[in-house]
Amino acid sequence: MPARYCGTSVRRSPAPGRAVFVGRGLYGNPFRIGDPSPASGGPMTAQEAVDLYEAIFTGPIGRCYARTFARTLHGRDLVCTCPLDAPCHADFLLQLANLMPARRFFDRGLCSSEGPS
């Protein structure tokens, strides 16, 4: 079963060879701990940041990205800079790619297999 590892890159983590770094870039979470929370205005918690990241994938365009991410990340270990004992969007990506039933996020006909058009 794929797992999440902590590190600043794939090379600087204990992850096996086919791991994918999801800390920044295409798979990175744009919501940052400590930024103003859209719900309370106070500092955003790690769990709020993960919840907001998950919410991105629930709309029609988000489901297209979810399908693409799931196919690309299926069976791969993921590396992020988050501590292993803290909530992390990489845990959601692992579930998306390996555990969740496809129907939760994907409705046929909303996008092509290549992503949003």
Spatial separation of the C-alpha atoms in residues 13 and 81, rounded to whole Å = 10
Whether the pLDDT of residue 48 is over 70: the answer is: yes
Spatial separation of the C-alpha atoms in residues 95 and 108, rounded to whole Å = 20
Q: Of the spans 8-17, 43-52, 58-67, which averages the highest pLDDT? A: 43-52
Dihedral sign, CA of 31, 36, 41, 42? positive
pTM for this prediction: 0.80
Q: Which residues contact 88 (CB under 8 A, 6 or more apart)?
A: 4, 46, 50, 80, 82
Render pLDDT for 57-87 as a digit per residue (tens, 0 to 9): 988 889 889 989 998 999 999 999 999 999 9
